Structure 1
Amino acid sequence: MDNLCNVTTGKVRFSYVHLYKPYAYQQGQEEKYQATVLVPKSDVDTKARIDAAIEAAKLKGTAEKWNGVCPPIVSNPVYDGDGVRPSDGMAFGPECKGHWVFTASAKADYPPEIVDSMGNPIINQSEVYSGMYGRVNVTFFPYMFGGKKGIGCGLGPVQKLEDGEALGGSAPKASAVFGTGVQPTDGVGTGRVNPITGLPW
Structure 2
Amino acid sequence: MADTRIVVRGRLSYVHLFKPHAAVQGQEEKYSTTILIDKRDTKTKVKIDAAIKAAEEYGISDRWGGVRPVKINSPLKDGDGTKEDGTPYGDECKGCWVINASAKVDYPPQVVNAKVEPIMDQSEIYSGIYANVSINFYPYAYMNKRGIGVGLGNVQKIKDGESLAGGRNAQQDFQVVQDDDMPW
Coarse TM-score class (shorter-chain normalised): over 0.9
Instruction: Pick one of 86, 106, 109 that aligns with 2:106.
Output: 109
Instruction: Pick one of 171, 174, 177 that aligns with 1:178.
Output: 174
Shift of 1:147: 1.6
Aligned to 1:5: 4
* 1:13-32 superposed matches below 5 A: 13-32=11-30
1:19-68 alpha-carbon deviations (Å, 9 max, x no partner): 00111011221110000000000110111100100000000000001000
Aligned to 1:68: 66
Aligned-partner residue type, residue 123 of structure 1: M
Aligned to 1:148: 145
The number of equivalent residue pairs is 179
Extract unaligned runs of 5+ from structure 1. 182-194, 197-201
What SS class does the counterpart of residue 52 from structure 1 fall into? helix
* Distance (Å, rounded) in 2 between the aligned partners of 1:149 and 1:178: 50
Extract unaligned runs of 5+ from structure 2. none
What SS class does the counterpart of residue 17 from structure 2 fall into? strand
Aligned-partner residue type, residue 150 of structure 1: G
Shift of 1:172: 3.0
What SS class does the counterpart of residue 19 from structure 2 fall into? strand
Higher relative contact order (CA 8 A, sep 6+): 2
* Distance (Å, rounded) in 1 between the aligned partners of 2:16 and 2:68: 33
Give % identity: 49
Aligned to 2:32: 34
| Equivalent pair of 2:167/2:173 in contact (CA under 8 Å) | no
Aligned to 1:129: 126
Kindly indicate which of the two structures has a greater share of residues assigned to strand.
2
Aligned-partner residue type, residue 8 of structure 1: V
Give the greater-gyration-radius structure (CA).
1
* Distance (Å, rounded) in 2 between the aligned partners of 1:178 and 1:29: 37
RMSD, aligned α-carbons: 1.6
| Equivalent pair of 2:39/2:97 in contact (CA under 8 Å) | yes
In the superposition, the TM-score normalised over structure 1's length comes to 0.85
Instruction: Kindly indicate whether residue 72 of structure 2 is the aligned counterpart of residue 95 of structure 1.
Output: no
In the superposition, the TM-score normalised over structure 2's length comes to 0.93
Shift of 1:73: 1.8
Shift of 1:119: 0.3
Aligned-partner residue type, residue 162 of structure 2: E
